[in-house]
Structure 1
Amino acid sequence: MIFGLFFLPSHGKTETMSLQANINEEIKNAMRAKDTVALESLRAIKSALLLAQTETGAKEELSSDDEIKLLQRLVKQRKDSANIYTQQGRADLAEPELQQAAIIEKFLPAQLSESEIEAVVSNIISQTGASGMADMGKVMGAASAQLAGQADGKTISTIVKKLLS
């Protein structure tokens, strides 16, 4: 167990509450409420943020895009684990993973519906002049950039394939 990670000084930043400050506050709230699932999820986010910051260099702040990608990766890991546990008939292990994914998703921007994603992808296809599966990479690149944080890659990919077929 690592001690001292959760009360790092904020160095007097006056901007709107950063993700890290928000996570620190939520950790305190989860501790007060004795919510172990939330606490585990929040500590996982904090750990991933600190790890990502040390990779980029201690003086550099993570961009909001990097934070969103990191949170999406954490959600995807938990959903994938829950899928595997469900396939193995271990609902007792799948449930906490899904609960953690739901807690982490609260820190992500609102996700678009499939019809909204479809409208954006259709627009990208018409802009790029894509006509078939050979153009999937071009459309995926533009769609992923435009929908960053608002939709997961798997959903975007499925819709792009459907529209290009």
Structure 2
Amino acid sequence: MDLFDVISNDIKEAMKAKDKVKLETLRNVKKFFLEAKTAPGANDTLTDDAALKIMQKLVKQGKDSAAIYTGQGRSDLAETELAQVAVIEAYLPKQMGAEELEAALKTIIAEVGATGPQDMGKVMGVATKQLAGKAEGRAISAKVKELLA
């Protein structure tokens, strides 16, 4: 069962359970999935990789929105965003911890043969592909800068 079907089934479960936050969040996710499936060139298919990227984007947007709301003193809106982020994160692969990320990046740096900050592009290219879904781009970038400095 692919991610699209899992989300569709969980929407039904959220309706039965009368879980408004989960229902609203999953409906929003499914809307983005349907848009991706019907986009030109998509051939009415959506791979799990593409679905994960969409969900990661939604999580990032939700966290950014929550930070803005908090900065404006609207904690009620921030809590709503974070609740939706939590629902989406349940479907994403487990994120790497700081130690795991550092170990993985050290391995990638050794593979690529990077020696300094000038090699950051090489490392980031490989790292973002290998660690897609397991770590945020910002965290990868910050750690690579730290390790190559």
1:3-52 residue CA offsets vs partner (Å, 9 max, x unmatched): xxxxxxxxxxxxxx111111111111111111111111101110010001
**CA drift at 1:56:** 4.5
Taking the aligned partners of 2:42 and 2:65, their CA distance within structure 1 comes to: 31
Residue equivalent to 1:144: 128
3-state SS of 2:73 partner: coil
Q: Structure 1 residues 58, 141: CA separation in 2 closer, same or farther (over 3 Å shift)?
A: closer
Residue equivalent to 1:62: 46
Residue equivalent to 1:121: 105
Q: Which runs of 5+ in 2 are unaligned?
A: none
**CA drift at 1:63:** 2.0
Amino acid at match of 1:37: V
Amino acid at match of 1:104: I
Residue equivalent to 2:147: 163
Q: What's the C-alpha RMSD, in Å, of the aligned pairs?
A: 1.2
Taking the aligned partners of 1:108 and 1:78, their CA distance within structure 2 comes to: 14
Pair 1:96 & 2:86 matched: no
Identical residues among aligned pairs (%)? 54
**CA drift at 1:122:** 0.5
**CA drift at 1:59:** 3.2
Pair 1:110 & 2:102 matched: no
**CA drift at 1:62:** 1.8
Q: Which runs of 5+ in 1 are unaligned?
A: 1-16
Taking the aligned partners of 1:147 and 1:80, their CA distance within structure 2 comes to: 21
CA contact (8 A) 2:4 2:51 kept: no
CA contact (8 A) 2:7 2:30 kept: yes
1:32-83 residue CA offsets vs partner (Å, 9 max, x unmatched): 1111111111011100100011115463422222111111001001000001
Moved over 2 A (4+): 56-60
Residue equivalent to 1:13: none
CA contact (8 A) 2:93 2:134 kept: yes
Pair 1:35 & 2:19 matched: yes
**TM-score, scaled to structure 2:** 0.95
Amino acid at match of 2:57: R
